[in-house]
Amino acid sequence: MADAMDPPVFEGVVYQIYPRSFLDTSGDGIGDLAGIATQLDHLVWLGVDALWLSPIYRSPMADFGYDVADHTDVDPVFGTLADADALIAAAHERELQVWLDYVPNHTSDQHPWFQASRSSRDDPKRDWYVWRDPAPDGGPPNNWRAAFADVPAWTYDEATGQYYLHQFLPEQPDVNWANPQLREAMLDVLRFWKDRGIDGFRADVVHLIGKDPAYPDDPPEVAGVGRAGHHHLPEATAPHLRAIRRTLEAPPAAVMVGEVNLPDAAQVATYVGEDLLHLAFQFSLIHSPWRADHWRDIVRYVQGEFDAVGAWPTWVLGNHDNSRVASRVGRPGAARAAMVGLLMLRGVPFLYAGDELGLEDAVIPPDRVVDPGGRDGERAPIPWDGSARHGWAGEPWLPWPPAPEARNAAAQRADESSMLHLTRRLLALRRAETSLRTGGQEVLDVADAVLAFRRADDSGTHLVLINYLDEPLDAEVAGDWRIVVASDGAGEGGSYTGRLSPDQAVVLAEGER
């Protein structure tokens, strides 16, 4: 059984806020920093430890903030730098950490660095981006495709007669970390925000920053697929991660979770370690069907791969790039059971705002589509109450998710049987019990359609059982156990009978108390 030998760098639960969609106070229908500030007490009540804000930097919003035009200012739609300072201070007063998205692989094409870089081949910032001569036929330097747009990953610049690289939109040119001045400028961004009180960073597609200087063609089997994830070279990225780590550790220290968006947790784990990333996302559960055998394999595999490098894993069920978990699993009861898994597994959980309300993806009519990557559904506004605009000052930029009259924060706070209250009970339990926070973990074979795992340390043992079917199941475990939390609230405080209700997940503690 994996034990608690490696203390995690961060023991808490991170709550991801997509600022555009959280809460609008200004009336323009776009969420803002002031809106986030009004909900801090609610988030303390819920019991999360840190907020991660998707990008708030000044941006033309071609990729809704992942195209940064000024790393040291807040976009006016979100507020001002003073609003950011106020939010950080208000969060700290409540012992909430604030983590910021950091976008190291590219900038906006409107960033002054890129404007200078494209101005002439002799500009001192030319080498801050990736410029290459055309192929002999005048076409792009290689066969890479951009993500989100059906175009090559290279765009020709008439004025200077070369192509620039963009693994995402043409408006998101890749920067060149091999250039020492660019690298220092990117490290300065971390220093700037650490000095303002930011406690941690989420590093966007950080595995892409080290480039293969040969820029080889994609092999035929993946050519044209447009998956930026293929162009990663761990040995080219590692030295930059070391520089980032040194920068993070200089006081005031901050932690980083890297979005190492690779399909295999074993690959992800190689980016984490003593002098590399503190943490990295692994998205296995997002890509898994709602099936016990898949989850069992994933939990065992992830645990093995991260233990092997002495690192603490992360768990993610939702974010701004993927269909919401409630939509993926289909049944509301299953979404509640999935929340039990997310918050009880050994590692750092990342909770996507709105998943605690059981929100599903919004249905986006064709004339309301705004994201080039097809991700509007999971970015729908959060409904805060049952009023006409659900607490928003202006009509939101995207349609509401389904059933906002019931799935809103106020209605669920008033109802102890709600998913919001379930999430709160799970977070409180995780806070109270070190075995569930930092204890070891062992996956048990209890029944085919059940994921069962034991969490334990010197202070005690808990068992977690999840039924993946919408029918009752026998799931006997040896010994006397009582139900501490049940995903449907049924039987909490009573003894566990060895039988799970449809879609039920339970957290059990030993004996009577």
Two structure tokens written together for 259: 């979005």
Pick the closer one to ligand GLC by CB: 109 or 259.
Answer: 259
Residue number, nearest CB to ligand GLC: 66
- Shortest gap between Cβ of 150 and ligand GLC (angstroms)? 16
Window 436 to 495, contacts with ligand GLC (CB under 6 A): none
Pick the closer one to ligand GLC by CB: 103 or 483.
Answer: 103
- Shortest gap between Cβ of 228 and ligand GLC (angstroms)? 8
Q: Does 371 bind ligand GLC (CB under 6 A)?
A: no
- Shortest gap between Cβ of 342 and ligand GLC (angstroms)? 19
CB 282, CB 302: distance < 8 Å:
yes
Coil vs helix vs strand at 52? strand
CB 50, CB 353: distance < 8 Å:
no
Q: Does 378 bind ligand GLC (CB under 6 A)?
A: no
- Shortest gap between Cβ of 227 and ligand GLC (angstroms)? 11
Pick the closer one to ligand GLC by CB: 167 or 303.
Answer: 167
C-alpha dist (Å) from residue 1 to 5, 8, 70, 90, 133: 11, 17, 48, 41, 55
Q: What gap in Å lies between CA 98 and CA 117, rounded to an integer?
A: 33
- Shortest gap between Cβ of 106 and ligand GLC (angstroms)? 7
CB 396, CB 382: distance < 8 Å:
no
Pick the closer one to ligand GLC by CB: 259 or 361.
Answer: 259
CB 405, CB 388: distance < 8 Å:
no
Q: Which of 15, 80, 84 is nearest to 47 (CA)?
A: 15
Window 318 to 347, contacts with ligand GLC (CB under 6 A): 320-321
Pick the closer one to ligand GLC by CB: 65 or 404.
Answer: 65
Pick the closer one to ligand GLC by CB: 320 or 455.
Answer: 320
> Dihedral angle at the C-alpha atoms of 54, 58, 63, 66, nearest 10 degrees?
-50
Q: Does 57 bind ligand GLC (CB under 6 A)?
A: no
Q: Does 6 bind ligand GLC (CB under 6 A)?
A: no
Q: Does 271 bind ligand GLC (CB under 6 A)?
A: no
Pick the closer one to ligand GLC by CB: 73 or 321.
Answer: 321
Q: In 103-232, at which residue ranges do the beta strands (DSSP E only) sit?
A: 131-132, 154-157, 162-165, 200-203
- Shortest gap between Cβ of 105 and ligand GLC (angstroms)? 7
Phi, psi of 102 (to 5 degrees): -125, 130
C-alpha dist (Å) from residue 70 to 103, 120, 409: 11, 21, 34
- Shortest gap between Cβ of 172 and ligand GLC (angstroms)? 6
Q: Does 168 bind ligand GLC (CB under 6 A)?
A: yes
Pick the closer one to ligand GLC by CB: 144 or 168.
Answer: 168
Cα 110 versus chain centre, distance: 26
- Shortest gap between Cβ of 213 and ligand GLC (angstroms)? 22
CB 382, CB 404: distance < 8 Å:
no
Pick the closer one to ligand GLC by CB: 63 or 360.
Answer: 63
Q: What gap in Å lies between CA 412 and CA 380, rounded to an integer?
A: 18
Cα 14 versus chain centre, distance: 9
For ligand GLC, which residue of 69, 205, 427, 446 counts as binding (CB under 6 A)?
A: 205
For ligand GLC, which residue of 15, 22, 66, 164 counts as binding (CB under 6 A)?
A: 66
Q: Of residues 63, 171, 259, 355, which has the active-site annotation?
A: 259
Is 204 one of the catalytic residues? yes
For ligand GLC, which residue of 32, 63, 360, 376 counts as binding (CB under 6 A)?
A: 63
Strand partners, 99: 52, 200
Name the DSSP class of 199: -
Q: Of residues 204, 218, 307, 361, which has the active-site annotation?
A: 204
Two structure tokens written together for 329: 């699993």
Q: Which of 67, 273, 278 is nearest to 168 (CA)?
A: 67
Q: What gap in Å lies between CA 52 and CA 198, rounded to an integer?
A: 10
Pick the closer one to ligand GLC by CB: 97 or 322.
Answer: 322
Q: What gap in Å lies between CA 21 and CA 23, rounded to an integer?
A: 6
C-alpha dist (Å) from residue 83 to 38, 102, 394, 497: 12, 19, 19, 52
Is 195 one of the catalytic residues? no
Q: What gap in Å lies between CA 175 and CA 166, rounded to an integer?
A: 9
C-alpha dist (Å) from residue 135 to 120, 142, 154, 323: 20, 7, 11, 38
Q: Does 201 bind ligand GLC (CB under 6 A)?
A: no
Q: Does 204 bind ligand GLC (CB under 6 A)?
A: yes
Residues that bind ligand GLC (CB under 6 A): 63, 66, 103, 168, 204-205, 259, 261, 320-321, 373
Active-site residues, by number, are: 204, 259
